[in-house]
């Protein structure tokens, strides 16, 4: 294994490809990546001290690592057969996309006790990213995706972010709270949220691994290169930026707002059609 740390924080812009990225990390030999541990959400909801929450996350890695070594079941969100999910929402019901995930207890096979352990949360971990970096015990991966399909995905689902809120990050991220707690829920609010995530990742770009969803689709071997591990099976991916579930009638408005109000997003993405595909 490279100097990549064996405890990995997987985070990124919501609906930006973190579920897929967590699945790829989980698909490496001698690696496990949990998807949005629900018990951690309780900490982010109930504990208001950012250092205490950060400490809870640190201790949780030690606890989960021990339980996996002892072959004890871990609650996680996966497919029925235990394979990792690559997309939480792929079925439609009453005109809305619905979850296909299963939450249950799973055990994990590892090759040795020095296995890679990842956990994925989007707003949670990004909200306390400065404090996570200060611990110096994690390798941190942040995933971004082109703003047009990302924001269209937010609008296509019934999630907190679909209503312009991020309750698990707001208590610890003042700038986010100022945007999401505003009465303005126009398309501009979503653009501002997207840009703030980009700003946070770019400000720590020398300390984290900042990856684009589109680049991962083209080269999923990036996780092999980062970790020094190889995939258990061959990985083939498809780009979902042109999903039929998105309302592309909003695309031009999003691009115009990004061009005017999102300088950090423009450091990562152009607004032409080629950059979206």
What's the whole-number average pLDDT of the chain? Answer: 92
Structure tokens at 6: 């064996």
Residue holding tokens 């096979």?
109
Among the listed residues 222, 216, 223, 265, the one whose alpha carbon sits nearest the alpha carbon of residue 239: 216
pLDDT tens digits for range 11-54 = 999 999 999 999 999 999 999 999 999 999 999 999 999 999 99
CA-nearest of 143, 148, 183 to 257 is: 148
Q: Which two tokens stand for residue 56?
A: 């809870």
User: Which residues lie below 8 Å from residue 12, measured CB to CB, with a gap of 6+?
Assistant: 18, 21, 122, 126, 141, 142, 143, 144, 145, 197, 201
Chain-centroid distance, C-alpha 37? 12
> What mean pLDDT comes out for the span 63-83?
94
Inform me whether the pLDDT recorded for 89 exceeds 90.
no
Domains present along the chain, CATH in parentheses: 7-276 (3.40.50)
pLDDT attached to residue 90:
54
The whole-angstrom separation of Cα 172 and Cα 126 is 10
| 228: nearest Cα among 116, 118, 144 | 116
Which tokens in the block code for residue 174?
């003042």
pTM: 0.93
Q: Which residues contact 25 (CB under 8 A, 6 or more apart)?
A: 8, 10, 31, 33, 116, 118, 141, 223, 227
Whole-number Cα distances in Å, 40 to 76, 120, 121, 178, 186: 12, 11, 9, 24, 30
Percent of the residues in the chain that have a pLDDT greater than 70, as a whole number:
95
**What are the structure tokens assigned to 251, written together?**
């695309």
* Token couple for 227: 């970790």
Q: What stretch of H or E contains 148?
A: helix 147-156
Residue-wise pLDDT for 204-262, tens only, equals 999 999 999 999 999 999 999 999 999 998 877 889 898 888 999 999 999 999 999 99
Total Cβ atoms within 10 A of residue 218:
12
What are the tens digits of pLDDT across the range 103-116? Answer: 899 999 999 999 99
Q: Strand, helix or coil at 84?
A: coil
Lowest mean pLDDT among 102-116, 119-133, 263-277: 263-277
């Amino acid at each position: 294994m490279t100097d990549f740390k064996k405890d990995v924080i997987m985070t990124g812009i919501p609906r930006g490809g973190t579920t897929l990225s967590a699945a790829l990390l989980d698909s490496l030999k001698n690696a496990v990546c949990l998807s949005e541990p629900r018990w951690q959400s309780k900490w982010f909801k109930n504990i208001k001290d950012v250092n205490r929450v950060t400490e809870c996350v640190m201790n949780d890695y030690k606890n989960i690592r021990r339980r996996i070594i002892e072959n004890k079941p871990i609650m996680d969100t996966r497919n029925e057969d235990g394979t990792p999910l690559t997309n939480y929402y792929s079925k439609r019901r009453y005109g809305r996309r619905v979850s296909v995930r299963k939450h249950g207890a799973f055990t994990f096979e590892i090759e040795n006790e020095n296995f890679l352990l990842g956990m994925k949360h989007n707003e949670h971990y990004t909200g306390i990213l400065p404090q996570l970096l200060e611990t110096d015990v994690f390798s941190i991966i942040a995933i971004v995706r082109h703003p047009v399909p990302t924001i269209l995905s937010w609008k296509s689902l019934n999630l907190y972010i679909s209503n312009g809120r991020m309750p698990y990050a707001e208590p610890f991220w003042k700038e986010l709270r100022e945007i999401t707690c505003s009465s303005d829920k126009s398309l501009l609010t979503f653009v501002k949220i997207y840009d703030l995530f980009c700003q946070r990742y770019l400000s720590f770009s020398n300390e984290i691994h900042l990856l684009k969803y589109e680049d991962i689709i083209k080269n999923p071997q990036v996780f092999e290169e980062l970790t020094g591990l190889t995939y258990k099976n061959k990985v083939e991916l498809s780009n979902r930026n042109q999903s039929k579930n998105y309302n592309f009638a909003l695309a031009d408005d999003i691009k115009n707002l990004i061009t005017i109000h999102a300088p950090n997003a423009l450091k990562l993405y152009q607004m032409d059609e080629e950059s979206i595909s």
